[in-house]
Amino acid sequence: MKAKLYIFCFLILSACNSIETNDTLSKSDIDYIRSLNLLDKDEQIHRFYSEYKKRVAGNFFTDKRMAKYWIDERDSKKNSIHSAFYNEIQAIDTVYYAGATYSPYMMITKADGKQFKVCTDGKREEIKAFFEEAIHLWRQKKAAN
């Protein structure tokens, strides 16, 4: 019974979230992301997605990097903040179907071997556009170096 309730709540919460841009995020959202040291003053977010509340979870890519954060509201030891500038990224693998209770994601592999996921969700074409734009920016920035 608890499992069914958990899945129901997860589906309801995730259905309310959508992919956003620098223009649709509030100033306080952007300031919060800056406070996590994931965004420089001159950096623009291209796409942003949160699996929960923006103060708790965020996945995004900018003109300089890919990043994700999870801020545990009860236990800061469980906080997880990851970021990679495009020149640090060795590979990006996409997973469109990650199971019934998980969001599609890009697995970011850094040159040092460390990995993290950048998640998104929405309609299939929105997910595809999110992934394709991120990969295009990465390839573009890599080619420029």
Domain that holds residue 111: 2-144
Q: Are strands 89-95 and 105-110 parallel, antiparallel or unpaired?
A: antiparallel
pTM of the predicted protein model: 0.85
User: How many residues comprise the chain?
Assistant: 145
Please tell me the predicted confidence (pLDDT) of residue 5.
45
CA 27 to chain centre: 18
Rounded Cα distance, 100 and 112, in Å: 31
Give the number of domains in the chain. Answer: 1
Give 88-127 pLDDT, tens digit per residue. Answer: 999 999 999 877 768 899 999 999 999 999 999 999 999 9
Instruction: Say which DSSP state 79 is in.
Output: -
Give 44-84 pLDDT, tens digit per residue. Answer: 999 999 999 999 999 999 999 999 999 999 999 999 999 99
Going from the C-alpha of 37 to that of each of 27, 73, 81, 103, the distances in angstroms are 15, 18, 9, 25
Report the candidate in 57, 63, 55 with the shortest Cα–Cα distance to residue 14. Answer: 57
- CATH, residue 105: 2.30.29
Please tell me the predicted confidence (pLDDT) of residue 6.
45
Please tell me the predicted confidence (pLDDT) of residue 2.
56
CA 84 to chain centre: 12
